[in-house]
Amino acid sequence: MAVTCVRRGRGLSRTILAGGLLMAGLPLAGCSKSEFELAGVTGVVSCDGRPLPKANVVFQPNDGVGTTSIGFTNDAGEYELVFSRKEKGAIVGGHEVQINVWPTEENPRPIRLPARYNTATELKAEVIPGANTFNFDLATDKSAKRKS
């Protein structure tokens, strides 16, 4: 799957606000186990053939029933989804996938992905029982033009 990402320098405060709102939505489950069937989800996010660190990967169930799962990439671009504080994975079934990179102190102007990969996502994943691996290979507009 090829995805395009671009660099932009504006909208930092909106990006930080959106990230804060997203994190506020992360489930804060209590002591009970989930009522949903969960399956493990891991993968790698890369951009221009290199790992994409400090990206967040969000799986939202298609039917709107259940909780969003979220993961953050490490320096190798690897992520593992978390359903709640105590449970890893995502609900079994279809999902829309959103990928973003948020500003950090080390990188206040990160790669900014087009809306078709986050707020107006075209990315999909079908989580099945057991272990699931979803890798996302992103390419910047600059990289895509070089290949043409």
* Pairwise CA distance, residues 126 & 58, whole Å: 13
Does the residue 69 lie in any domain?
A: yes
Does the residue 141 lie in any domain?
A: yes
Q: Which structural domain, as residue segments, surrounds residue 45?
A: 2-6+38-147
> pTM, whole model, 2 decimals?
0.73
70: domain CATH number? 2.60.40.10
Does the residue 65 lie in any domain?
A: yes
* Total tally of structural domains belonging to the chain: 1
Q: What is the pLDDT along the chain (148 residues), one digit of tens a residue?
A: 544 444 444 444 344 444 444 444 444 444 456 689 999 999 999 887 889 899 999 999 998 888 999 999 999 999 999 999 999 999 999 999 999 998 888 878 887 777 777 888 888 999 999 999 999 987 665 555 555 5
Cβ atoms of residues 3 and 137 within 8 Å: yes
Does the residue 18 lie in any domain?
A: no
- Specify the pLDDT at position 147: 54
- Specify the pLDDT at position 112: 74
Does the residue 139 lie in any domain?
A: yes
* Pairwise CA distance, residues 14 & 106, whole Å: 18
* Pairwise CA distance, residues 133 & 125, whole Å: 10
